[in-house]
């Protein structure tokens, strides 16, 4: 896998603008080449401005050819303040002309989390056209990173980090005392492109360790994102990149 591409921007606004330009360019290319553009979006706070920008006329996006998935979801109702879907709906879905059927929501509120994960994996495979025994290959996954180096809902020391059979699985996060649903490493690493959006001084030390440390410390979950046939790009603001 080639070295990650690292792009540093003055602030979160410029980072978000650049990410929206890349999304628009990739969507146009992929829709023209394959008739489809498949993307998985993370939750959290960093990507909110990026999602809001995508819904503005400044960015030309072939929405009828776009299919949006979720990287992960908290096991709460879809209208819960902590729901990633709620954030994505308010920032993007309520503003952009994406056909309703083209947003694939993780039903993480379902009591049977295993069934919800399996159903989501089936929907993902069907949409991207994964054959039997193939990992579903998304065109792009947009990821965030926590100060502990987690990404998606793959937190350090949690069981889902070791998942090698399922494309989507539930994950209990002890430090948060909550369950999540998450794309697993085989799915994330099957993507054609992984794009991290990371901003803020609080993440600078973790960014340094994730991108620069070679002392054999246990790999942070974010370091495990290494698409076998894909690329990794880090979009950082100056504050998060300060120690590089």
What 3-state DSSP class applies to 8?
A: strand
Per CB under 6 A, contacts with ligand 6PG among 110-139 are: none
Give the bridge partners for 67, in sequence order: 38
Q: 60: buried, middle or exposed (CB in 10 Å: 19+, 13-18, 0-12)?
A: exposed
Among positions 152-171, residues that touch ligand 6PG (CB under 6 A) are 152-153
Compare residues 11 and 45 and give the one whose CB is closer to ligand 6PG: 45
Cβ proximity to ligand 6PG, 66 vs 240, nearer residue: 240
Contact between residue 197 and residue 235 where contact means Cβ atoms under 8 Å apart: yes
CA 171, 113, 165, 83 torsion: positive or negative? negative
Residue 219 binds ligand 6PG, judged by CB under 6 A: no
Size of the site for ligand 6PG (CB under 6 A): 15
Query: Nearest distance from residue 32's CB to ligand 6PG, in Å?
Result: 30
Using alpha carbons, select from 138, 149, 164 the residue that is nearest to residue 41. 138
**Rounded CA separation 242/37 (Å):** 34
Q: Which stretch binds ligand 6PG (CB under 6 A): 61-69, 128-136, 147-155, 215-223?
A: 147-155
Nearer CB in complex with ligand 6PG: 37/155: 155
187 binds ligand 6PG (CB under 6 A): no
> Residues near 32 by Cβ (< 8 Å), separated by ≥ 6?
none
The residues in 10-69 that bind ligand 6PG, with binding defined as CB under 6 A, are: 42-46
CA 102 to CA 41: how far, in whole Å?
13
| Between 31 and 241, CB nearer to ligand 6PG | 241
Interface contacts to ligand 6PG, rule CB under 6 A: 42-46, 71-72, 84, 144-146, 150-153
């Amino acid at each position: 896998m080639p070295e990650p591409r690292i792009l540093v921007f003055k602030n979160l606004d410029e980072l978000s603008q650049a990410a929206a330009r890349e999304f628009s360019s990739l969507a146009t290319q992929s829709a023209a080449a394959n008739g489809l553009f498949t993307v998985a979006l993370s939750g959290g706070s960093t990507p909110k401005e990026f999602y809001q920008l995508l819904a503005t006329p400044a960015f030309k996006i072939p929405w009828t050819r776009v299919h949006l998935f979720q990287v992960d979801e908290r096991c709460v109702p879809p209208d819960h303040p902590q729901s990633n879907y709620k954030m994505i709906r308010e920032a993007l879905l309520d503003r952009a002309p994406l056909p309703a059927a083209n947003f694939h929501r993780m039903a993480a509120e379902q009591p049977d989390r295993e069934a919800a994960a399996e159903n989501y994996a089936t929907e993902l495979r069907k949409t991207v056209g994964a054959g039997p025994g193939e990992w579903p290959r998304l065109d792009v996954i947009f990821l965030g990173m926590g100060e502990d180096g987690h990404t998606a809902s793959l937190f350090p020391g949690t069981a889902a980090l070791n998942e090698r059979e399922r494309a989507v699985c539930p994950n209990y996060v002890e430090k948060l005392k909550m369950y999540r649903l998450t794309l697993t490493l085989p799915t994330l690493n099957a993507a054609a492109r992984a794009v991290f959006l990371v901003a803020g001084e609080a993440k600078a030390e973790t960014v340094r360790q994730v991108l620069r440390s070679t002392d054999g410390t246990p790999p942070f979950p974010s370091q495990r994102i290494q698409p076998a046939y894909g690329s990794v790009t880090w979009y950082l603001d100056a504050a998060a990149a300060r120690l590089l």
